[in-house]
């Protein structure tokens, strides 16, 4: 186990290095034109551009530029030249909101997808199954910001059933916190519910024909017990891996599209505003942090799996 962990961590560090090089290249090497001008964004005074060129080492070799960029991103020295605010602080400020959104949505989509997927598989081929399949397909075909904006306008603003955007701290009032987050959670979960329920449905249908399910039935176990103890448990394994990855993707990507619509003011909204202004430093930082987080999450999931299933360690 120790050797496996060491190897996996080493591999993770290598991938992180490669990811940082690619991010650096995306912002400073691949585009056409002066990187200092891009970095300045809407703050195009000659003195700012001179300052950027010196601070980021744009007059020096590529290696120096890379090292200086990494120093800036990981010492919290990075600031937006447009808003003059430090990027690190803004991200830390928004993080609890983004985490609240992502964790709640992930739990919601997993729970609903299990119900839908299991029901759909049990009723395979019948009307209920077809109906849920169509609903799932519509779910994966809707942009989250569009359905979110419509929900916020009609359910929040017009009908007044839910708050019209905004965020309340959990420590202040847990009920109000959840009440403000119900719509964002739902909007974000819809896409994944469509996806997961279909994957689960096909997994359940595959598992139902396994020998151990037949054995369980021959033993005289109740149908409900067979479904939950034997079928569902084994159908969940591939989904849990996806869950980890998609959670990372939501934290890094989906939140950007959801938060602005509901005015949650987390990291996602911060990033979305920076993108709208073509303000490079915050986008650079969010990209790097998101990719690093996903690489880390992948390694953690792999190590957990190796811990649970010893066969993986030997591969």
Q: What is the dihedral of CA 109, 110, 116, 120, to 10 degrees?
A: 130
Give the residue, chosen from 99, 103, 142, 221, that forms a contact with other proteins under the rule CB under 8 A.
142
15 binds other proteins (CB under 8 A): yes
CA-CA distance, 290 to 102, in Å (whole number)? 13
Distance in Å, CB of 216 to other proteins, minimum: 25
Distance in Å, CB of 232 to other proteins, minimum: 19
Residues in binding contact with other proteins, number by CB under 8 A: 51
254 binds other proteins (CB under 8 A): yes
Residues constituting the chain? 315
x-marked contacts with other proteins along 212-251 as a string, rule CB under 8 A: ------------------------------------xx--
Of 45 and 215, CB closest to other proteins: 45
Q: Count Cβ atoms below 10 Å from residue 93 Cβ, excluding itself.
A: 14
**Beta-ladder partners of 79:** 86
- Judged on CB neighbours under 10 Å (0-12, 13-18, 19+), 177 is middle
CA-CA distance, 195 to 116, in Å (whole number)? 11
Contact 182, 190 (CB under 8 A): no
26 binds other proteins (CB under 8 A): yes
**Of residues 194-213, which lie at the interface with other proteins (CB under 8 A)?**
199
145 binds other proteins (CB under 8 A): yes
First CA to last CA distance, the chain = 12
165 binds other proteins (CB under 8 A): no
Contact 146, 251 (CB under 8 A): no
Footprint of other proteins (CB under 8 A): 15, 18-19, 22-23, 26-27, 30-34, 37-38, 137-138, 140-143, 145-146, 149-150, 153, 157, 191, 199, 248-249, 252-254, 256-257, 261, 271-272, 275-276, 278, 280, 283-284, 286-287, 290-291, 294-295, 298
């Amino acid at each position: 186990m120790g050797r496996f962990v060491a190897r996996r961590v080493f591999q993770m560090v290598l991938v992180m290095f490669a990811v940082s090089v690619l991010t650096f290249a995306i912002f400073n090497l691949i585009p056409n034109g002066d990187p200092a001008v891009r970095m300045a964004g809407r703050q195009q005074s000659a003195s700012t551009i001179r300052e950027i060129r010196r601070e980021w080492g744009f007059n020096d070799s590529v290696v120096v530029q890379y090292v200086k960029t990494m120093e800036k991103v990981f010492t919290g020295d990075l600031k937006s030249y447009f808003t003059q605010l430090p990027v690190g602080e803004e991200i830390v400020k928004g993080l609890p909101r983004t985490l609240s959104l992502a964790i709640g949505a992930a739990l919601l989509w997993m729970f609903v997808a299990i119900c839908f997927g299991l029901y759909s598989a049990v009723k395979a081929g019948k009307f209920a199954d077809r109906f849920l399949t169509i609903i799932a397909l519509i779910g994966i075909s809707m942009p989250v910001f569009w359905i979110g904006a419509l929900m916020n306008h009609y359910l929040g603003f017009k009908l007044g059933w839910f708050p019209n955007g905004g965020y309340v701290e959990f420590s202040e009032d847990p009920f109000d916190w959840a009440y403000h987050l119900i719509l964002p959670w739902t909007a974000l979960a819809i896409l994944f519910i469509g996806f997961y329920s279909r994957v689960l449905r096909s997994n359940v249908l595959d598992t139902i024909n396994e020998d151990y399910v037949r054995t369980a039935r021959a033993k005289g176990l109740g149908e409900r017990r067979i479904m939950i103890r034997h079928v569902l448990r084994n159908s969940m394994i591939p989904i849990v891996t996806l869950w980890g990855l998609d959670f990372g993707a939501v934290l890094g990507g989906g939140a950007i599209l959801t938060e602005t619509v509901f005015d949650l003011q987390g990291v996602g909204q911060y990033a979305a505003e920076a993108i709208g202004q073509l303000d490079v430093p915050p986008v650079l930082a969010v990209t790097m942090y998101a990719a690093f987080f996903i690489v880390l999450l992948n390694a953690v999931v792999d190590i957990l799996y190796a811990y649970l299933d010893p066969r993986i360690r030997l591969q």
